[in-house]
C-alpha cells in the first residue's frame, strides 16, 4: 500500500468556541488556540481540524457561514488566523479547515441576492420551488425540526434547508456555484492550509424532482434516500479534485451522513480521484431509533464489533478509514461506552477506548478533551443548553406528546451535542482556566478533578496514555498498515483483534466491562514471544490465561 503522511497522522479536532478564550469575552478564539499549540505539540498530534472559524451569525455555531473569506469577529481577525497558521507550521502541525458548502447562512451575500427576485443572477445558487396547493413543495423534514422548506413572501416561493432555516442549501447542479466554491477553496489553499473536512458533503446532490419521503413519527418525510450519495455527488467531487485538491498536498475527509461501504469505496478510493477518507456514522447510530437519537439505549458491543470490523475488512486495500469516537456532534464516548462513576474506572475506560480505536487501521481523530477523559456534563434545565438541535428537538418531541418532558431532558443530558461543547478543562482555577469572563456555555463542574494541568503532571494520566498511543503509531508501521482481523466475534464483553504486516503480528485485547473477564491467549500467540506496546494497568504480563481487570486493555506485538 502506498505510504502517505495522512495515513500516518493523528488529527486533533478543535471546536474553537470552547477551546481557549484569550480576551475574556467568554468565547474561545484564534489567539487562544495559538497559545495552546505547545500543549498540542506535547500531545504529539500531527494535524488540527478546526471547526468553522468563518464569519457567521452563529445560528448553528459557525456551520452557517455568511462570508467564506472572513474570520468570525468572536474568534479574531485574518491576521490572528495567519499568525496561528504560521505558528502551527513552525511546530510541524498542519491545519485542516472545515468546509461547509452544502449550505450557507441566509446572511451570505449570495442568498441575500438570491431571495431578492426570481430573476436575480443568484436565484439559482439555491433551491427554490413553488408551493403545492398552498403547502411546501414536498414533505421533507429538516434535521433540526420542522419542515425543510421556508416560504419567502417576497417571491412567494419556498427555499430548501436540510438544516435550520438560516442554512439554505446551495444548488450544486448550478456550475456557477461549483466554480465559486472551488475558487474559494483555492484561495484558502493559496494561504497555505493543509486540507479540508467537508461538512455533510454526501448531501450536495439532490435527486431531481425532489420526491416525497417516507413519513416518520415526527410527521415529516425522510429526505435521506433522495439526498444521501445523490446522483451527481461523485462527479462533483471528482471535478473538485481535478480543479483544486489535486494541485496541493492535502488531507481531505468527507463527513458522509448515510454513507454505505459501497459508496465509501468511491469517496475514499485509494486511486485518489475524490477524497482521502470519510466519516461514516454506522457505529455512532447503533443506539438510535424511532425518535432519532433521543433515547437512553446502550450501544451493543457485539453490534459495535461487527460494524467497525466490516469497515476494517471492506475498505482494506481499496479505500481508507477514519477512526473516531468523539466529535462536536456526539456526546462523550466515555459516557456512552465507558464508566465515569469513579476516577479509577473513568481513567481505565478512557484508556481502553483509546487503545481499541487507535490500534485499528485508519487515521485516528482525537476530539478536544478526549485526551483527558472529559465526560458528558450535568445540565439541569433547558436554559443551560445552547445547541439548536437539542433545543428544537426538546420542543418538538414534548409538544407533540411523543416524549414526556422529564424523559426528554434525560435524553438530552445523555445525547445532546452540547456534552461535547462545554469548555476545555485546562486547570482547576475558575471556569477551568478556559476564560476570565463568563463562558458562553457552562463549564462541566468536574473540572477540578479532570483538567490538563493535573494530567500533564501525572505519569499515569489519560493525557500521557494518549501521548503514547500517538507516539506508537510513529514507531510501529504495523499500527498504520497492518491488516485487521476480529477474534471472538460473539463475545459480549471483550473486543479482541489482530493486525498483521509481513512477519509481524499484533494482538489487541479490550475489556469493555467493569467486571473482570477470563481470557485465554488465542492459538499461535506464544506468551513468551510477545511484547506489550501499551496497556492501562501497572505491571501487566502476557500469560496463557489471564483475568482481565475492569476495562483492562493491552496491545501486544509478536
Residues that bind ligand TEU (CB under 6 A): 60, 63, 100, 143, 163, 199-200, 255, 257, 293, 328-329, 389, 417
User: From the list Ca ion, ligand TEU, none, which binds 23 (C-beta under 5 to 8 Å, kind-based)?
Assistant: Ca ion
Distance (Å, rounded) from C-alpha 369 to C-alpha 469? 15
Smallest separation (angstroms) from ligand TEU to the CB of 336: 13
* 510: three-class secondary structure by DSSP: strand
Q: Which is nearer to Ca ion, 21 or 347 (CB)?
A: 21
Distance (Å, rounded) from C-alpha 475 to C-alpha 464? 16
Q: Which of 21, 255, 263, 370 is catalytic?
A: 255
Is residue 21 at the binding interface for Ca ion, with CB under 5 A as the rule? yes
User: From the list Ca ion, ligand TEU, none, which binds 29 (C-beta under 5 to 8 Å, kind-based)?
Assistant: Ca ion
Q: Which of 80, 169, 199, 274 is catalytic?
A: 199
Q: Which residues contact 179 (CB under 8 A, 6 or more apart)?
A: none
Written as one string, the DSSP assignment of 172-201 is TTSHHHHHHHHHHHHHHHHHT--EEEETTG
Is residue 27 at the binding interface for Ca ion, with CB under 5 A as the rule? yes
> In the 8-state DSSP scheme, what is residue 534?
E
User: From the list ligand TEU, Ca ion, none, which binds 257 (C-beta under 5 to 8 Å, kind-based)?
Assistant: ligand TEU
Distance (Å, rounded) from C-alpha 104 to C-alpha 100? 7
User: Do residues 137 and 210 make contact, with C-beta atoms less than 8 angstroms apart?
Assistant: yes
User: From the list Ca ion, ligand TEU, none, which binds 199 (C-beta under 5 to 8 Å, kind-based)?
Assistant: ligand TEU
Q: Which is nearer to ligand TEU, 394 or 465 (CB)?
A: 394
Smallest separation (angstroms) from Ca ion to the CB of 236: 36
- Has 255 been annotated as catalytic? yes
Q: Which is nearer to ligand TEU, 106 or 199 (CB)?
A: 199
Distance (Å, rounded) from C-alpha 197 to C-alpha 250? 10
Beta strands in 309-435 (DSSP E): 322-323, 363-367
List 29, 98, 274, 287, residue binding Ca ion (CB under 5 A):
29
User: Do residues 288 and 340 make contact, with C-beta atoms less than 8 angstroms apart?
Assistant: no
Written as one string, the DSSP assignment of 258-295 is T--HHHHHHHTBTT-SS-SEEE--TTTSTT-BTTBT-S
Smallest separation (angstroms) from Ca ion to the CB of 318: 44
Q: Which is nearer to ligand TEU, 104 or 155 (CB)?
A: 104
User: Do residues 490 and 302 make contact, with C-beta atoms less than 8 angstroms apart?
Assistant: yes
Window contacting Ca ion (CB under 5 A); options: 24-32, 49-57, 354-362, 406-414 = 24-32
User: From the list Ca ion, ligand TEU, none, which binds 27 (C-beta under 5 to 8 Å, kind-based)?
Assistant: Ca ion
Q: How many CB atoms lie within 10 A of CB 230?
A: 20
- Has 427 been annotated as catalytic? no
Smallest separation (angstroms) from Ca ion to the CB of 86: 20
User: From the list Ca ion, ligand TEU, none, which binds 63 (C-beta under 5 to 8 Å, kind-based)?
Assistant: ligand TEU
Among the listed residues 319, 141, 326, the one whose alpha carbon sits nearest the alpha carbon of residue 216:
141
Is residue 25 at the binding interface for Ca ion, with CB under 5 A as the rule? yes
User: Which residues have a catalytic role annotated?
Assistant: 199, 255
Question: Interface residues with Ca ion (CB under 5 A)?
Answer: 21, 23, 25, 27, 29
Amino acid at each position: 500500500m502506498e505510504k502517505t503522511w495522512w495515513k500516518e497522522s493523528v488529527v486533533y479536532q478543535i471546536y474553537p468556541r470552547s477551546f481557549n478564550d484569550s480576551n475574556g469575552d467568554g468565547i474561545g478564539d484564534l489567539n487562544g488556540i495559538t497559545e495552546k499549540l505547545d500543549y498540542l505539540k506535547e500531545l504529539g498530534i500531527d494535524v488540527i481540524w478546526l471547526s468553522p472559524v468563518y464569519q457567521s451569525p452563529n445560528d448553528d455555531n459557525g456551520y452557517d457561514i455568511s462570508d467564506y473569506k472572513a474570520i468570525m469577529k468572536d474568534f479574531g481577525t485574518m491576521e490572528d488566523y495567519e499568525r496561528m497558521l504560521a505558528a502551527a507550521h513552525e511546530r510541524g502541525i498542519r491545519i485542516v479547515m472545515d468546509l461547509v458548502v452544502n449550505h450557507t447562512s441566509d446572511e451570505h451575500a449570495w442568498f441575500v441576492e438570491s431571495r431578492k427576485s426570481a430573476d436575480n443572477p443568484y436565484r439559482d445558487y439555491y433551491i427554490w420551488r413553488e408551493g403545492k396547493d398552498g403547502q411546501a413543495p414536498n414533505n421533507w423534514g429538516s434535521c433540526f425540526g420542522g419542515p425543510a422548506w421556508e416560504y419567502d413572501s417576497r417571491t412567494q416561493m419556498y427555499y430548501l434547508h436540510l438544516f435550520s432555516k438560516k442554512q439554505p442549501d446551495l444548488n450544486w447542479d448550478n456550475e456557477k456555484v461549483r466554480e465559486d466554491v472551488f475558487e474559494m477553496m483555492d484561495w484558502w489553499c493559496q494561504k497555505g492550509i493543509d486540507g479540508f473536512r467537508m461538512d455533510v458533503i454526501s448531501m450536495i446532490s439532490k435527486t431531481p424532482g425532489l420526491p416525497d419521503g417516507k413519513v416518520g413519527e415526527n410527521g415529516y418525510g425522510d429526505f435521506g434516500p433522495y439526498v444521501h450519495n445523490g446522483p451527481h455527488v461523485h462527479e462533483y467531487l471528482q471535478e473538485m479534485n481535478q480543479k483544486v485538491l489535486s494541485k496541493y498536498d492535502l488531507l481531505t475527509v468527507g463527513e458522509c451522513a448515510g454513507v454505505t461501504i459501497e459508496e465509501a469505496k468511491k469517496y475514499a478510493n485509494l486511486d485518489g480521484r475524490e477524497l482521502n477518507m470519510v466519516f461514516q456514522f454506522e457505529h455512532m447510530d447503533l443506539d438510535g431509533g424511532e425518535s432519532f437519537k433521543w433515547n437512553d439505549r446502550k450501544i451493543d458491543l457485539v453490534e459495535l464489533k461487527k460494524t467497525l470490523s466490516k469497515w476494517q475488512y471492506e475498505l482494506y486495500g481499496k479505500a481508507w478509514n477514519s477512526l473516531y469516537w468523539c466529535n462536536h456532534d456526539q456526546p462523550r464516548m466515555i459516557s456512552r461506552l465507558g464508566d465515569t462513576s469513579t476516577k479509577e474506572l473513568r481513567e481505565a475506560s478512557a484508556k481502553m477506548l483509546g487503545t481499541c480505536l487507535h490500534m485499528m487501521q485508519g487515521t485516528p481523530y482525537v476530539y478536544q478533551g478526549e485526551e483527558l477523559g472529559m465526560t458528558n456534563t450535568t445540565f439541569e434545565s433547558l436554559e443551560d443548553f445552547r445547541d439548536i438541535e437539542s433545543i428544537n428537538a426538546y420542543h418538538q418531541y414534548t409538544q407533540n406528546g411523543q416524549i414526556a418532558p422529564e424523559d426528554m431532558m434525560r435524553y438530552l443530558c445523555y445525547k445532546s451535542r452540547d456534552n461535547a461543547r462545554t469548555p476545555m478543562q485546562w486547570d482547576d482555577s475558575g471556569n477551568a482556566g478556559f476564560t476570565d469572563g463568563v463562558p458562553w456555555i457552562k463549564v462541566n463542574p468536574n473540572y477540578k478533578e479532570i483538567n490538563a494541568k493535573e494530567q500533564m503532571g501525572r505519569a499515569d494520566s489519560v493525557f500521557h496514555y494518549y501521548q503514547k498511543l500517538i507516539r506508537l503509531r510513529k514507531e510501529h508501521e504495523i499500527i498504520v498498515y497492518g491488516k485487521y482481523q476480529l477474534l471472538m466475534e460473539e463475545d459480549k464483553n471483550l473486543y479482541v483483534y489482530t493486525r498483521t504486516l509481513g512477519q509481524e503480528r499484533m494482538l489487541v485485547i479490550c475489556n469493555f466491562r467493569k467486571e473482570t473477564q477470563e481470557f485465554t491467549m488465542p492459538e499461535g500467540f506464544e506468551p513468551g514471544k510477545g511484547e506489550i506496546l501499551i496497556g492501562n494497568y501497572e505491571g501487566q504480563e502476557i500469560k496463557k490465561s489471564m483475568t482481565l481487570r475492569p476495562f483492562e486493555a493491552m496491545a501486544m506485538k509478536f
